[in-house]
Amino acid sequence: MNALMAAICIAWAGFSFLFYRGLYHRRVRHAAYAEFARATFTAVQAHFPELKSKSSSLVIDKGFGVKNDEAWQEALHTFISHRVVSELSPRTRDSLKASPSASKDFSTLTVNLVLTLVAHQSMPETYNLTEAIASIEEPEDPFSFLSGTPKFKPQKEVLTRLAIAVLAVGLMGGASPSNAASGEAFSPLSACSALADIDGFQPNKSGYVELYDGIFSCATPYKELGNQALPNNIALYGRGNASEVTRVKLMLNVNVSSHGAQDAKLLASLCTRMITNVTGNPASDLEQKIAQGKPFRQPFHGYSVYLDRTLWGTGKGYELNCGIATQNNKE
C-alpha cells in the first residue's frame, strides 16, 4: 500500500510539474506574441499603402489559376526583417537571435498578421491578438500543452529563418568600411553604411540579417521627403550572403507623383554618392542620367549600375530603384 501511494504521489508530482510548466510556457509565448503583434501593427500602420500596393503589383498572374508571388514574398520578408524587427526591444531581438524556436514563433505570427492586415482595403484601427494566435495555432492537445511547444496549422507555419543571426552593424564580418576592388563584392559594413554620414541613412538596428535560405540583407529607415500625409520616401538596401554584399541600392517610393521629378534628382545625387563610397570611383557622370527617371543598366568599373521603375498595381504610385551590383549577383 505504501509503495502504491508513493507511486501515485510521484506520478501526481510529475503531472503537476508538467502542467504548470505548460502554463508557464504558454504565458511566456503569448507575452512574446503580444510584443510581436504590437511591433507588426506599428510597422504596417506606417507603411500600409505601399504594402497594399506591393501585395498586388509584385504578384504575377500566369493564367490558369497559377500565380508567381516570389517577389511579393521577398518584399514581405524584407519588410519584416527590417521594419518589424526594428520595432522590437533589444532584449527581444537578442532572444530571437539566440533561440530558433522563438524565431519560428516570431516568423509565423508576424508573416500571417501582416498578410491579414494588408488584406483589408484600409488600415484597421486595431487588431485582435486572440484571433491572431488562433489563426496560426492548432487547438492545444495534451502533448503540445505539456511540452510547452505550439502546434502550428500546416498552411500557417513559416519555416524561413527570419530574424535569425541578427547582427549589430559594428560586427558585420569584422570588416572596415574600405572600398571594394573593381568588380569585387562589398563588405556588409561598407555597403550598409554607404550613406551613414547623411542624416537618416544610418542602418537599422536589426543589422545585416538573414531573410531566408542564406540570403542576407540590411536596410536604413525610410527617410520621408516632404510633409504630406503620405510623402515620398527613400531607403537604402544591401543584399548578399553571410559574408559579402553583392548588390546595394536606393529605393525611392513615389506616393506623390507631383514631387516625383524633384525627388528623382535627389535619388540621383544620393545614388552616385553611394556608388562612389562603395567602389572608390567617381560616379558623378551618372547623376544626370539617373535623374531622368528612365530605366537603364550599364557597366561601371567591373560592376553593373542600374535604374529600374516599378508601377504599383493600384495606379497610385511607383518606385525607382537605383543600385550597383556585382556581375554574379542573382536576384
**Spatial CB neighbours of 127, under 8 Å, sequence gap ≥ 6:** 37, 41, 113, 116, 117
Domains contained in the chain, number: 2
Last residue of one domain, picked from the residues 147, 181, 214: 147
pLDDT, residue 288, reads 95
Rounded Cα distance between 328 and 8, Å, is 67
pLDDT, residue 113, reads 95
If phi > 0 it is left, if psi is from -120 to 50 it is alpha, else beta; for residue 236 that is: beta
pLDDT, residue 13, reads 61
Rounded Cα distance between 189 and 179, Å, is 11
Same domain? 208 vs 295? yes
Rounded Cα distance between 224 and 221, Å, is 9
Rounded Cα distance between 144 and 148, Å, is 6
Residues of the chain with pLDDT under 70: 1-2, 4-9, 11-22, 64, 143, 145-146, 159-181
- Confirm whether 160 is domain-assigned: no
- Structural domain boundaries, residue 6: 2-147
Chain centroid, CA 274 distance in Å:
21
Give the number of other CB atoms < 10 A from CB of residue 287.
17
Same domain? 136 vs 214? no
Same domain? 7 vs 140? yes
pLDDT, residue 54, reads 86
